[in-house]
Structure 1
């Protein structure tokens, strides 16, 4: 097998007995042993439990029983997400490594689908930074160039997939945390609609969604199918899709009206290579027959955006599951103090303003365009450690690089719209630069159709970082 094979192909190989789950797992564990010391994607492993699960999975194949769709395929879980029997330290020194007793719904769906859990991936403290920098486990590095960050907060997940340490990886996204690392690492990052994938407790005023980082559109669609199995206990749920998302791969999207936005909604400058990436994707979409034209969408007022970035996120950090908040990073302690200085009415005011303006923003889809195309980030991947240093040095802001990284992605979390980062461009420095497609309410299907067509045209799944692509080890 090739460690860069898709999860769908690996599952097919298991089902047809071309390779066993034990063999697949051993190949990835050997690659982690060899390559992860320089990348630092994984923060916790339990190889013996994983191997025991692989042996059970192999026996089920031999027994000839019905197999779930991803039977015997490895997947790591982000360190911010709970799994019974595993720690969940959120990348924070102030959180103990005691085993948890709860398994979050998204992980239960992975297990129901036959995945093998193969460790936990690094994230910044409490998932707040846009780069995977922390002082508990150390910083994660980008396999394309170890001097640069893989992005965040699902940076450990993205680095693992990019380096061929896992075929796919779990992630979550509260302001771009699936799409930013996918952009930095040359991968596909699909952020589902709000309410599409069940979560135990929606956080950041319901902005955080669960998802996965993949190399192929087919994997992204198939994973979305298994992650979005409804949960009758969830507070709200996205409407069911017209057909399985996997059936949207290769399906004709028709001729779509695609708005092109190159100016950052936050007003910060956009790096030329990020503009070039979006313009390159626009030309590919035109080659596919779509109508691409400049767009000037109306998103959020300064008051509303500031309310999310400060009032809501400060309160979220105050309520974060620390055992010892005194060990938090300086920028996190600053946010906690700010939260204590605001009364609860200001939180409600910020939340209601965001909901009102988000409704108006969503109305532009279908009326002015079908899909919006943007750069994924307004800057190329920053150097390792820069974001944590920037936040600790200037916790009261402004922080240019952080703002550039989240400028195009965070609006999707606040509106609840689905979005996908696609890796169609490489900078002169050899770093991947993603483009983002934003779909209308609940319309992941159109994003999957567009991404699969672009993947066929571009062939990004065949590109791997030098030094990690030779052989199975």
Structure 2
């Protein structure tokens, strides 16, 4: 078994003490990519030589006794939707040139400041608005637990890389479930931070997209959030500072909580029994720890608000995506961009006003009616590869039931800016991971980390590895 299944936190400690070198870690990541990735297609661009050179410099810093960042010498793949200076950034599209980008997005800079070595770029669906990780430029990313199935999206490349032992932790983004869905599909942890927790220079999709990671260990989710959650005076807004480092929340005492349980889907679509079982399994574990679990029917967004987000806000941002040749985009992307051309500024303003008007009453339920909300992460188990993207391209105006089931529980969190985490608490009869989601109160990541660390030993997900990638 590879040591890349260990936590990045533990590996960084070993590097700092000289028990392990950064060069050894990067060399192992390269070897794993060579051996594992041909079957998964998680990593679509590699900079092996540069990563090794950075690792050697990291080892020299250890030998010299320099001050070390928290994740000194740990390699991490960056999602293809994110720019890194000197690397391509194609948004997963044939319609975007692969020329080296002139600057880095803020999150890439923060990873580097935290000691990480940026190694490779992970696959994503074109431009991000798809619940599976497939595109015409790089092809299909497959699930390490069963390569006939998808690791979901849009951070499916990141999830497959971690589940496949090619990285201990991977960068991910989430605009409607894109961290939590892949985490659920691959047996990992995915925390979507609160709006404003991780600084970004351009708050896209009306401030719903956030950066984070997908990891196997709770301590990595917490530690990387400390690296990313900095106060930056050069961005539009920043979330309130936490009371203490998020890493200190791992294993911290957890006061009794009122847990609101939802198993029916918010959009009325059928819910797979395996997904219901995941939520009920986590509910049982929380009750065992002394928390009160009560079925609830929370107030969420109206159909008009959701349609405004999907059909007006997201389409407008897709139209604004800097394509070099939009005619080479996926058919469903071209359809969405064309629809954006028919929306005038007043309609955008109305759609956004409705979202903000409905967000206040929605968020007020946390702390009043319940402390946290517990749901399945998705309403379906991981779909077969090729089905969801094909459905969108073939009949964009059709029902697209599987895609809607995948985002049924996740998208509202992004619109509201609430933190949420998917935990790998169940395995289906077919052997596929199935996650359950906990949605926290505004800026409540600390509570989510305490919950996750409290149940981590009971479910044993840190040692559950796909057979073909051990």
Partner of 2:391: 390
Compute the displacement of 1:75 (Å). Answer: 0.4
Compute the displacement of 1:337 (Å). Answer: 1.2
Please say if residues 187 and 213 of structure 1, whose CA atoms lie closer than 8 Å, have aligned partners that are also in contact.
yes
Q: 1:184, 1:43 → 2: CA distance?
A: 20
Q: Does 1:8 align with 2:13?
A: no
Partner of 2:462: 461
Partner of 2:438: 437
Compute the displacement of 1:254 (Å). Answer: 1.1
Counterparts of 1:240-319 in structure 2, within 5 Å, are 240-319=241-320
Structure 1: give runs of 5+ residues left out of the alignment.
none
SS of 1:34 mapped into structure 2: helix
Partner of 1:372: 373
Partner of 1:20: 21
Q: 1:441, 1:407 → 2: CA distance?
A: 20
Compute the displacement of 1:387 (Å). Answer: 1.3
Partner of 2:183: 182
Please say if residues 133 and 387 of structure 1, whose CA atoms lie closer than 8 Å, have aligned partners that are also in contact.
no
Q: Does 1:52 align with 2:53?
A: yes
Q: 2:165, 2:353 → 1: CA distance?
A: 43
Aligned CA RMSD, in angstroms, stands at 0.7
Compute the displacement of 1:309 (Å). Answer: 1.2
Partner of 1:342: 343
Compute the displacement of 1:398 (Å). Answer: 2.0
Q: 1:199, 1:372 → 2: CA distance?
A: 27
Please say if residues 201 and 236 of structure 2, whose CA atoms lie closer than 8 Å, have aligned partners that are also in contact.
no
SS of 1:76 mapped into structure 2: strand
TM-score (norm. length: structure 2): 0.99
Q: 1:453, 1:394 → 2: CA distance?
A: 44
Partner of 1:75: 76
SS of 2:357 mapped into structure 1: helix
SS of 1:205 mapped into structure 2: helix
Q: Which segments of structure 1 move beyond 4 Å, counting only runs of 4 or more?
A: none
TM-score (norm. length: structure 1): 0.98
Partner of 1:158: 159
Compute the displacement of 1:397 (Å). Answer: 3.2
How many residues end up aligned between the 2 structures? 469
Q: 1:284, 1:386 → 2: CA distance?
A: 34
SS of 1:230 mapped into structure 2: coil
Q: 1:398, 1:380 → 2: CA distance?
A: 18
Please say if residues 376 and 409 of structure 1, whose CA atoms lie closer than 8 Å, have aligned partners that are also in contact.
yes
SS of 2:313 mapped into structure 1: helix
Q: 1:342, 1:188 → 2: CA distance?
A: 38
Compute the displacement of 1:448 (Å). Answer: 0.3
Compute the displacement of 1:10 (Å). Answer: 0.4
Structure 2: give runs of 5+ residues left out of the alignment.
none
SS of 1:266 mapped into structure 2: coil
